[in-house]
């Protein structure tokens, strides 16, 4: 069974349309919305849709307040691991991640442990971004690639699909980062654990409604988190709980 995790904070203007688009693009998938106590009623709307429109396939994990993107995903991952989901995807609630890419994302997970929706490989791109944000995003991925040595073009994107064993093989309680740095840390830990990583092209479109959560603090956290991850490389490698089979590139 496939699960899509969507963290929300004040996304009532998007979530209903997004769920309909997901249902049309990827039938027979479950969705978990992790809502951080949205004042605009996002959580209440999701609960209503779960009961009336998507019974048995839409679930709400309601949290007490705005606890951060990283912790929202970690809570969602733990929820998924407590159930029988084999493929766990993550995406934003604002239509910047178009549901039309979901079939390709899940299909690629048949041959790779972690699949990244990438803006910076052939066929990918961004729409409606000012030049400064493009520079920061591309520069952040280049910086991460140079420091960490991981052959990934798009480190900071949040459109991903994990196989179950990836999340089970990572110490989720040790993940403390949020925002861009959370995306970097999860990919890096997966790669250090020996899991295969593949990028597929997506076009990222600026949010449909609401306000961006991007801030200077998020950018600074990512900048320093990369250095901390590189310094901890040896320790993180000793935490490896995964041994690839011959079919997966092992001996």
What are the domain boundaries of the chain?
Answer: 2-242
Name the pTM for this structure: 0.87
- Integer Cα distance of 171 and 232 in angstroms: 14
pLDDT mean over 68-84 = 96
Mean local confidence (pLDDT), 30-58: 98
For helices 179-192 and 216-231, the axis angle rounded to 10 degrees is: 20
Mean of the pLDDT values across residues 162-173?
A: 95
Q: How far is CA 214 from the centre of its chain?
A: 15
| Homologous superfamily (CATH) for 2-242 | Spore Coat Polysaccharide Biosynthesis Protein SpsA; Chain A (3.90.550.10)
**How far, in Å, CA of 190 to CA of 150, rounded?**
11
Q: Which residue has the tokens 């041959």?
A: 111
Return the pLDDT at 234.
Answer: 64
User: Looking at residue 111, what is its pLDDT?
Assistant: 96
Distances (CA, A) of 193 to 70, 189, 234, 248: 20, 6, 11, 13
* pLDDT on residue 102: 98
**Is pLDDT at 196 greater than 80 in this prediction?**
yes
Residue 85's closest CA among 163, 169, 178, 202? 163
pLDDT of residue 43: 97
């Amino acid at each position: 069974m496939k699960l899509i995790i969507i963290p929300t904070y004040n996304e009532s203007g998007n979530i209903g349309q997004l769920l309909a688009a997901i249902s049309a693009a990827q039938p027979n998938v479950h969705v978990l919305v992790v809502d951080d106590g949205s004042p605009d009623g996002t959580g209440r709307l999701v609960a209503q849709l779960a009961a009336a429109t998507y019974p048995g396939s839409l679930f709400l994990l309601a949290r007490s307040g705005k606890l951060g993107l990283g912790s929202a995903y970690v809570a969602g991952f733990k929820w998924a691991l407590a159930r029988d989901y084999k493929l766990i995807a993550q995406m934003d609630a604002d239509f910047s991640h178009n549901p039309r890419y979901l079939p390709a994302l899940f299909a690629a997970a048949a041959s790779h442990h972690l699949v990244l929706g990438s803006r910076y490989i052939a066929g990918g791109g961004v729409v409606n971004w000012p030049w400064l944000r493009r520079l920061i995003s591309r520069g952040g991925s280049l910086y991460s690639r140079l420091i960490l040595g991981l052959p990934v073009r798009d480190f900071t994107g949040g459109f991903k699909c994990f196989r179950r064993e990836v999340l089970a093989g990572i110490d989720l309680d040790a993940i403390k980062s949020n925002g861009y740095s959370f995306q970097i840390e999860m990919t890096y830990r997966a790669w250090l654990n020996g899991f295969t990583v593949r990028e597929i092209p997506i076009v990222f479109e600026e949010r449909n409604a609401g306000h961006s959560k991007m801030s200077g603090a998020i950018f600074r956290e990512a900048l320093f988190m990369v250095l901390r991850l590189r310094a901890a490389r040896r320790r993180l490698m000793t935490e490896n709980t995964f041994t690839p089979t011959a079919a997966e590139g092992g001996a």
